[in-house]
Amino acid sequence: MSVRVIAYSTSANLGSGFDILSLAHTAFKDEIIIEENKEKNKIEIESNDRIPLQIEKNSAGLAAKMLLQDKGIDRGIKIKIKKGIPFGLGLGSSGASAAASVLGINELFDLKLSKNDLVKYAMLGEQASSGSPHPDNVAASIFGGIVSVSSVSPVRVVEIPVNLDFNILLIVPEGQKEGKTKKAREMLPNQISLSKYVNNSRYLSSFLLGIIKGDKELVRMGLNDDIVEVAREPLFPYYKKIKEIALKNDAVGSCVSGAGPSILILYDNDTNLDKIKKEAYDVCSSYDVKCNFIEAKLAEGAKHERLN
């Protein structure tokens, strides 16, 4: 018996929604097959890519281990990971694998877990890749669309109703860095001023209200962030210039995708997309960075099928 799961790439944070907001997009996807293993208590991992295959260092493996242990399941499994989401680029690659892993186990052993339960275990898998069990990427991979993680204890993910038409452009630099998100999280300040907190809270509420009310101006303003993106700027020195180019060419808005280095641009029929691509390519080149452009749409949540 085995189960195949497809889980999409994600862009987390969405401006000032650090560890809270995330959206799933059709840019890339991971495919994971979970099959029962004859050997009890054994988790085996196979992959087509150069990700760690040790359980504790693989987001899918660690999430699986935590779920099986918690449910008292001693049956062995094999996790076959066909990576489609390039990792270390701010596209939720580790999160998608963790999400697909727990969904596959849920279906294989008929555990009847809720989507919030799946997020609870998948986020534990993120400890393997970033050192922190952040819930945002896995929440969007599991639920799809745009999500807000309103609570982690217990886990409560809210799907945000989207009443604004937009498409997605991802500017993805070449050159993956091992443990990128872990390093990016270590760059964050331990304390912030009250004024910075208030400003970022204004951005977060503007983004949510803009998406729900279909107000482009609110979304554009809501995709700002004066704390996390600023602290991490050395990881993506080209970002500010590219954001200016996007807004100058009537993009809906732009922000860093997750912990970067990819950049997310939301655009619509008013946007001069070709001009953004050309000028952004030149900016990346001026920083000796080769950038690729991926056009995508909002994606659905992870989907499974029983194979036999």
Ligand X SMILES: N[C@@H](CCOP(=O)(O)O)C(=O)O
Ligand Y SMILES: Nc1ncnc2c1ncn2[C@@H]1O[C@H](COP(=O)(O)OP(=O)(O)O)[C@@H](O)[C@H]1O
Nearest to 24 by CA among 111, 126, 146: 146
| Catalytic center residues | 126, 181
Q: Are 78 and 112 in contact (CB under 8 A)?
A: no
Question: Under DSSP, is residue 268 helix (H, G, I), strand (E, B) or coil?
Answer: coil
Comparison of 87 and 203: residue with beta carbon closer to ligand Y: 87
DSSP letter assigned to residue 17 = E
Name the one range near ligand X by CB under 6 A: 133-141, 203-211, 217-225, 247-255. Answer: 133-141
Q: Are 149 and 155 in contact (CB under 8 A)?
A: yes
Whether 96 has a binding-site annotation, put simply, is yes
Tell me the C-alpha distance between 3 and 101, whole Å: 10
Nearest to 137 by CA among 177, 97, 184: 97
Nearest to 264 by CA among 12, 8, 16: 12
Question: Under DSSP, is residue 130 helix (H, G, I), strand (E, B) or coil?
Answer: helix
Q: CB nearest ligand X: which residue?
A: 258
Q: Does 91 bind ligand X (CB under 6 A)?
A: yes
Name the one range near ligand X by CB under 6 A: 146-154, 167-175, 177-185, 211-219. Answer: 177-185
Q: Does 259 bind ligand X (CB under 6 A)?
A: yes
272 membership: H or E segment, kind and range: none
- Report the residue from 183, 185, 202, 241 that binds ligand X according to the rule CB under 6 A: 185
Q: How far is the CB of 77 from ligand X (least distance, A)?
A: 25
Tell me the C-alpha distance between 301 and 284, whole Å: 32
18 binds, among ligand Y, ligand X, none (CB under 5 to 8 A by kind): ligand X
Q: How far is the CB of 81 from ligand Y (least distance, A)?
A: 6
Comparison of 137 and 249: residue with beta carbon closer to ligand X: 137
**C-alpha triplet 192, 196, 197: angle, nearest 5°:** 80
- The interface mask with ligand Y, positions 239-278, x = CB under 6 A, is -------------------x--------------------
- The interface mask with ligand X, positions 97-126, x = CB under 6 A, is ------------------------------
Window 1-40: residues binding ligand X (CB under 6 A): 12-13, 18-19
136 binds, among ligand Y, ligand X, none (CB under 5 to 8 A by kind): ligand X
134 binds, among ligand X, ligand Y, none (CB under 5 to 8 A by kind): ligand X
Comparison of 20 and 273: residue with beta carbon closer to ligand X: 20
Residue type at position 227: I
Tell me the C-alpha distance between 77 and 2, whole Å: 9
Binding residue ranges: 86-96
